């Protein structure tokens, strides 16, 4: 029996639409993998056993592992996994668990995983914890783990049964397949004592071997007893299916990726969403090539597999893809199965682009000695660093939705009219867009995207072609003639605004719609309403948002509430890496009069530095209903000041000073506030001196701006000022003049020692009043400017940047290559009008044709600085970058180095002059 079944169903079952399929109404497994969004990048041992119909030999496995470590690990492919053809694995532990991939192998699972780890790679296992090998059933010494009184044979059904759909075939027990007799694997009987311990123990068995990935196959065969919906393969286990997945989910925990393969996906994957990280959404790759990616049947069927190619499958299940939901697995890629002509290279580009846009794993099934059997240097299609960066940022896109109808056919729906399989869009955590325009046809076709109308941009955007590695300049829209089977893949950076469109976010228990006018982008999310079917977890949308600094951010939500009364929602913020909740806010959405009338709701959210997952959810405790169009961040960086509005009603987080013997001349009250409900004031009728300061430590160095709303009235003081001190430079004092209303007071300093002290001081003869509110400490900040988070947020056109070095605990980019290199390491930043200086710390050694720091604005070089030939750290800068309006600025480090030359980049930062 093969791991994959080649028998293809020749008929389609009658289609039954299930209401739950429309909304994806289910809670989802919360794990590191689902929070990441996009799937893993890895190598899968599929091709050799598929072509030989036996398990991959151990020496070939190791040769491929070595090849992956050499060719692909530098690009981020960090895992290798075994696959299928496991009938030859019969040797077991005392608890009946198979010891290794095949009896012909020398190494155990643990030793196999250790070999991968020695090459810097994680390890994946193919096996179904519901399987029991007959050798364990027939051996009376094998007992269920932690249950010495229960034999392994006691947790399976061995009695001969007759399958209800195959009356002519008797089965030797409840078996995985019907055509191997006594050699066929058994299914665990979930209803028997010891079954739970056995299944959970199997998962732990693989975790103990070092596995970080468990690929569980043939789930539809277990659930339905059918292949393709019409061919009987064994007994059905409808009632046990959810229980088994729940047990596996519980045993897997946070760190093991649970990959569910060949699932029926009943009710639009309602059960799989709860318990898995990854689901297969189309047929096996088999012989590969464009026929797998875009061909085969285009018609949905109510059985495995509902869709037969990745274009259809990724489109059909896109509404349950994304962070906090499910990774869509489109199966593996075999680049060597495409021919060598130009159109086949088009297909190679399109395949990797589609998988990336759909958030699917990029799973290489080629081998070290097969990848270039057709074409040349086929590795390059897996090695586009700019494309890989999208995966590492957790990107998951969606096809353009035309309406709220399901993608599959049904009463009143015409198949294929609801979503566009050939136009995909999505947003990165920094607010940038990625656009993919495909041509699945055999003739050249013009494809277009309107950035203003379809992406909701409010102005121009800088556009970059990811495959051509070319900046295209500012555009409001894009149109191109696309060759047959090719793709145009674009990165679109808005000149202004940090809007995150709800239709491009992850939605759970909600649905896309565009049936009410006035929305931004290509639609909105509706059905934020009471939903008892969600097991107590209300409908929600999850936005991945990158914050340059930890602090408070103003967030605007554009919504519609046509209920006629107030509605409410709960907004929570989680650290995107460890899922720690950093904030929880209840907001009220006032009635807007109709569902086509939109309003803004401003809230303040505390964000962590880096990735935040902002969830807008209508919980069971919330009232009413609303539709959500987008969320938008204040364009300023986060405020790092604490108790900045004195809303605690006290000077908590501040230190006050007054001369010994003087009565304190300060207070916090709610009279004449500028914002919120409280303010700080200094006042005394007699002479007084008073100050209040706050000190922040642990800051990244760079330019910080301290601002506050202040109002000075009464007697003219001897001194009244904003003070900024202890930042690594001379004390900076800014006088506060008298005024009849609140005014801004501002000071900008360059922090060089990781801290800043700021505050206010008054020296008055008596009768001077100073009111202080809304103190802001912000900076122009580059996310991951010091490479603490590896290359997150940075693009690369060459893999000369292969690793991160450390120097006294500080991370730096290590740019080098044994054969010489041309490297461009860069990022795009949207900056407001003003004058800036871009700086970097570098050191280098060896021969360079050229190397330096550069700044590009609007496709024109705005400045550059060469790097000195010095192996010690040096600071270089590009100054006088003047922006007369909001601009998209490209900041980069370019280097052409000889063999074994190296360039280290420790920090890149921006200072506002």
Which is the catalytic residue, given 83, 174, 277, 773?
277
Question: Which residues are registered as beta bridge partners of 401?
Answer: 419
Among 551, 554, 542, which Cα is nearest to 498's? 554
Long-range interactions of 811-814: CB distance < 8 A, separation 24+: 811/786, 811/787, 811/906, 812/786, 812/787, 812/904, 812/905, 812/906, 813/787, 813/893, 813/904, 813/905, 813/906, 814/902, 814/904
Q: What is the number of alpha carbons within 13 Å of residue 480 lying toward its C-beta?
A: 17
The torsion angles phi and psi of 620, rounded to 5 degrees, stand at -65, -25
Whether 773 is a known active-site residue: answer no
Which H/E stretch holds residue 749?
strand 743-751
Which tokens hold the place of 435? Answer: 């656009």
Which tokens hold the place of 912? Answer: 């506002």
Gyration radius (Cα) of the chain, Å: 30
Which is the catalytic residue, given 78, 217, 282, 289?
217
Chain-centroid distance of CA 659 in Å reads 54
Which tokens hold the place of 440? Answer: 């699945």
Which tokens hold the place of 154? Answer: 């006691």
Residue linked to tokens 């982008």? 521
Distance between CA atoms of residues 400 and 503, nearest Å: 9
**790 exposure class (CB count in 10 Å sphere: 0-12, 13-18, 19+):** middle
Question: Which residues are registered as beta bridge partners of 184?
Answer: none
At residue 395's C-alpha, the angle toward residues 387 and 470, to 5°, is 30
Among 621, 617, 625, 620, which Cα is nearest to 540's? 617
Question: Which residues are registered as beta bridge partners of 288?
Answer: none
Within 10 angstroms of residue 553's Cβ, the number of other Cβ atoms is: 23
Give the chain's largest Cα–Cα span: 106
CB environment 663-677: b (16+ within 10 A), e (fewer): eebbebeeeebbeee
Q: What is the SS3 string spanning 225-246?
A: CEECCCEECCCCCCCCHHHHHH
Query: CB within 8 A of 110, min separation 6: which ones?
Result: 208, 209, 210
Q: Does the N-terminal peptide bond of residue 282 adopt cis geometry, omega within 30 degrees of 0?
A: no
Contact predicate 889/846, CB 8 Å: no
Contact predicate 749/702, CB 8 Å: no
Q: The dihedral of CA 161, 163, 167, 172: what is its sign?
A: negative
Whether 629 is a known active-site residue: answer no
Chain-centroid distance of CA 241 in Å reads 29
Distance between CA atoms of residues 833 and 887, nearest Å: 7
CB environment 489-502: b (16+ within 10 A), e (fewer): bbbbbbbbbbbbbb
Distance between CA atoms of residues 460 and 152, nearest Å: 66
Within 10 angstroms of residue 22's Cβ, the number of other Cβ atoms is: 16
The torsion angles phi and psi of 64, rounded to 5 degrees, stand at -70, -40
Distance between CA atoms of residues 262 and 282, nearest Å: 8
Instruction: Name the residues annotated as catalytic.
Output: 217, 277
């Amino acid at each position: 029996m093969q791991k994959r079944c080649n028998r293809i169903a020749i008929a389609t079952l009658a289609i039954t639409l299930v209401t739950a399929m429309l909304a994806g109404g289910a809670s989802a497994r919360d794990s590191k993998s689902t929070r990441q969004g996009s799937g893993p990048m890895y190598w899968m041992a599929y091709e050799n056993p598929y072509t030989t119909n036996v398990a991959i030999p151990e020496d070939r496995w190791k040769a491929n592992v070595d090849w992956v470590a050499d060719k692909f690990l530098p690009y981020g492919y960090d895992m290798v996994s075994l696959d299928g053809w496991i009938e030859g694995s019969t040797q077991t532990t005392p608890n009946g668990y198979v010891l290794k991939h095949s009896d012909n192998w020398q190494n155990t699972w643990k030793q196999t995983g250790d070999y991968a780890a020695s090459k810097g790679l994680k390890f994946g296992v193919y096996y179904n914890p519901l399987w029991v090998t007959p050798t364990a059933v027939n051996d009376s010494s094998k007992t269920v783990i932690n249950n010495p009184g229960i034999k392994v044979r006691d947790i399976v059904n061995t009695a001969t049964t007759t399958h209800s759909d195959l009356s002519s075939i008797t089965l030797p027990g409840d078996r995985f397949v019907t055509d191997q007799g006594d050699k066929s694997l058994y299914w665990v009987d979930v209803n028997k004592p010891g079954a739970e311990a056995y299944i959970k123990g199997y998962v732990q068995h693989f975790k103990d071997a070092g596995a970080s990935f468990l690929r569980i196959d043939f789930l539809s065969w277990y659930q339905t007893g059918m292949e393709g919906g019409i061919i009987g393969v064994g007994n059905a286990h409808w009632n046990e299916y959810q229980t088994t997945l729940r047990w596996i989910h519980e045993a897997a925990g946070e760190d093991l990726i649970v990959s569910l393969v060949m699932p029926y996906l009943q009710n639009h994957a309602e059960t799989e969403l709860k318990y898995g990280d990854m689901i297969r959404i189309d047929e096996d790759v088999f012989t590969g090539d464009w026929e797998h990616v875009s061909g085969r049947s285009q018609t949905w069927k109510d059985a495995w597999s509902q869709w037969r190619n990745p274009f259809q499958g990724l489109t059909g299940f896109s509404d349950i893809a994304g962070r906090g939901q499910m990774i869509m697995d489109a199966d593996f890629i075999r680049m060597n199965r495409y021919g060598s002509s130009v159109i086949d290279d088009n297909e190679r580009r399109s395949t990797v682009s589609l998988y990336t846009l759909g958030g699917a794993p990029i799973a290489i099934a080629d081998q070290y000695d097969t990848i270039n059997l057709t074409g040349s240097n086929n590795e390059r299609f897996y090695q586009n660093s700019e494309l890989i960066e999208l995966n590492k940022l957790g990107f998951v896109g969606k096809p353009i939705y035309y309406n709220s109808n399901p993608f599959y056919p049904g009463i009143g729906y015409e198949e294929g009219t609801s979503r566009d399989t050939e136009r995909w869009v999505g947003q990165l955590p920094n607010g940038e867009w990625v656009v993919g325009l495909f041509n699945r046809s055999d003739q050249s076709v013009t494809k277009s995207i309107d950035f203003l109308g379809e992406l909701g941009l409010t102005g121009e955007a800088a556009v970059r072609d990811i495959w051509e590695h070319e900046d295209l300049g500012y555009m409001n829209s894009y149109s191109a003639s696309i060759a047959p089977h090719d793709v145009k893949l674009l990165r679109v950076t808005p000149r202004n605004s940090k809007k995150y469109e709800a239709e491009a976010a992850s939605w759970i228990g909600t649905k896309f719609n565009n049936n009410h006018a006035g929305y931004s982008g290509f639609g909105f999310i509706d059905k934020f309403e009471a939903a008892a079917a969600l097991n107590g977890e209300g409908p929600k949308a999850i936005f991945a948002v990158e914050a340059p600094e930890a602090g408070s951010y103003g967030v605007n939500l554009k919504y519609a509430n046509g209920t006629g009364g107030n509605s409410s929602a709960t907004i929570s913020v989680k650290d995107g890496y460890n899922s720690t909740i950093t904030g929880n806010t209840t907001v009220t959405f006032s009635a807007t009069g109709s569902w086509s009338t939109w309003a803004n709701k401003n809230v303040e959210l505390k964000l962590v530095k880096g990735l935040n997952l902002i969830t807008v959810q209508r919980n069971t405790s919330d009232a009413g209903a609303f539709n959500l169009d987008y969320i938008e961040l204040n364009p300023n960086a986060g405020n790092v000041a604490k108790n900045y509005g004195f809303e605690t009603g006290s000077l908590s987080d501040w230190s006050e000073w007054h001369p010994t013997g003087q009565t304190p001349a300060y207070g916090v009250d709610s009279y004449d506030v500028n914002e919120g409900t409280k303010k700080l004031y200094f006042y005394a009728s007699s002479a007084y001196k008073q100050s209040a300061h706050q000190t922040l430590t642990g800051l990244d160095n760079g330019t910080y701006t301290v601002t506050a709303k202040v109002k000075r009235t009464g007697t003219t003081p001897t001194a009244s000022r904003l003070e900024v001190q202890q930042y690594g430079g001379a004390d900076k004092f800014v006088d506060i003049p008298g005024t009849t209303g609140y005014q801004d007071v501002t000071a900008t300093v360059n922090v060089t020692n990781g801290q800043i002290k700021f505050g206010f001081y008054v020296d008055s003869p008596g009768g001077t009043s100073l009111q202080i509110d809304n103190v802001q400490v912000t900076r122009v900040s580059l996310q991951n400017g010091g490479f603490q988070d590896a290359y997150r947020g940075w693009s690369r056109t060459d893999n000369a940047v292969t690793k991160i070095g450390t120097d006294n605990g500080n991370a730096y980019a290590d740019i080098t290559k044994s054969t010489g290199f041309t490297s461009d390491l860069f990022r795009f930043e949207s900056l407001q009008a003003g004058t800036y200086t871009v700086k970097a710390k570098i050191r280098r050694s060896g021969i360079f044709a050229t190397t330096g720091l550069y700044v590009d604005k609007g496709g024109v070089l705005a400045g550059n600085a060469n790097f000195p030939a010095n192996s010690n750290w040096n600071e270089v800068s590009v100054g006088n970058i003047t922006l007369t309006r909001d601009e998209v600025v490209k900041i980069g480090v370019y280097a052409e180095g000889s063999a074994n030359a190296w360039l280290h980049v420790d920090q890149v930062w921006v200072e506002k002059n």
